[in-house]
Amino acid sequence: KEAFPQQELDKLPGFASIGHARYPTRGASEIKNSQPYLVETLSGPVYAVASNGDIVNYEEIANELRVKGVHFSSKNDGELLARFIVYYHEREGLEITDAIKLLMKRVKGAYSAVFLTKENIYA
């Protein structure tokens, strides 16, 4: 059986979507900590991330981003990943793939993630 009939999927706009069944490793099991986590920018793009795992240097990376003016609305590892990538892409001018590479160098822990833009999906 299919969870979503093809006729319903055909009605959806866009080329891809992501989802997540959350088992919280950080932050309470509340709607604000649910995934996928969306980041909407002033310039228009909307980004989404879904992740699983545990970022052990979460506070270190989050504090570095806070100093740069990045605000967080949750304690979700996925939000940290999304905001890091969006900050370095939108504010520092890195290509998304370069922002992801920088993220992978900086973040410590065991995790997997998928990052969705209007044009591409990165995993």
Give the domain CATH number at 37.
3.60.20.10
pLDDT at 102: 98
Alpha-carbon separation of residue 66 from 33, 69, 87 (angstroms): 18, 5, 11
Q: What is the band of 108 on the pLDDT scale with cuts at 50, 70, 90?
A: very high
Task: Find residue 50's DSSP bridge partners.
Answer: 114
Residue 1 lies in a domain: no
Q: What is the band of 62 on the pLDDT scale with cuts at 50, 70, 90?
A: very high
Residue 69 lies in a domain: yes
26 vs 82, residue with greater confidence:
82
Query: 87-102, pLDDT tens digit by residue?
Result: 999 999 999 999 999 9
Q: How far apart are CA 71 and CA 62, in angstroms?
A: 9
pLDDT reading at 25 higher than 60? no
Which domain covers residue 93, as residue numbers?
6-122
pLDDT at 8: 85
